Amino acid sequence: NRYFNIFRKEIYKYQIAEFESLVGHIELDESYFGANRVRGFKGKLKRGRGTRKQPVFGVFKRNGHVYTEIIPNCKKRTMQAIILGKIDVQSILYTDGWRGYDGLVDVGYDKHFRVNHGDSEFSKGNGVHINGIESFWSFTKRRLAKFNGVKVNFRLHLKECEWRWGKDSKDLEYRLLKLIADI
């Protein structure tokens, strides 16, 4: 595990250093990571917003890069600060119908499309969907489930999932060897 954490630290540094502002068709979403049950807590935990889990904000450029950030809360101010800092204003944004994404056009983005999951709407058929970022969340949660919870190095595991996303095993092997050679 010690060596894997060394690799994860290098991947983390690489992901942070290589990030550039995203431009194009961008999907935005938040997800929550944590235990399904909490010891000492009776009853069911809430799902989604209002849960005791750790919120993570994700940005997905279609046919490309994923960026994630662990956030303290899912308030509009917190999320818009990340969006303004990481995404070019010429981009076309796709989000779910949550009110926290209100006002993105007011802060300078030209186009903002929404998918209303509450009405069982997952794709409008005209390219308006956030299936890419939802797929990344599914991949990440499946991968992290193998560890039976990751508390201490969660940020490293999250960046590793970013790094692994959409790559085949041969490409990952080559990229990991390249990272190790640079240490």
- Tokens encoding 36: 């399904």
How far is the CA of 151 from the CAs of 34, 53, 54, 70, 124, in angstroms?
9, 11, 10, 12, 37
Specify the pLDDT at position 179: 82
pTM of the model: 0.86
- Percent of the chain predicted with pLDDT > 70: 85
Q: What is the pLDDT of residues 78-107, one digit of tens each?
A: 999 999 999 999 999 999 988 889 999 999
pLDDT digits (tens, 9 = 90+) for 47-69: 555 567 899 999 999 988 899 99
Q: Which two tokens stand for residue 117?
A: 């999951």
Whose structure tokens read 């969340």? Answer: 137
By residue range, what is the domain housing residue 126? 2-181
Closest CA to 31 of 9, 50, 4, 58: 58
Sequence-distant (6+) residues with CB within 8 A of 30 are 55, 56, 57, 58, 71, 74, 79
Question: What CATH number does the domain containing 58 carry?
Answer: 3.30.420.10
| Residue 163 identity | W
46 confidence band (pLDDT: 50, 70, 90): low
In one-letter notation, the amino acid at residue 80 is: Q
Task: Give residue for tokens 């509450």.
Answer: 118
> Considering its fold, how many domains does the chain have in total?
1
Beta bridge partner(s), residue 31: 56
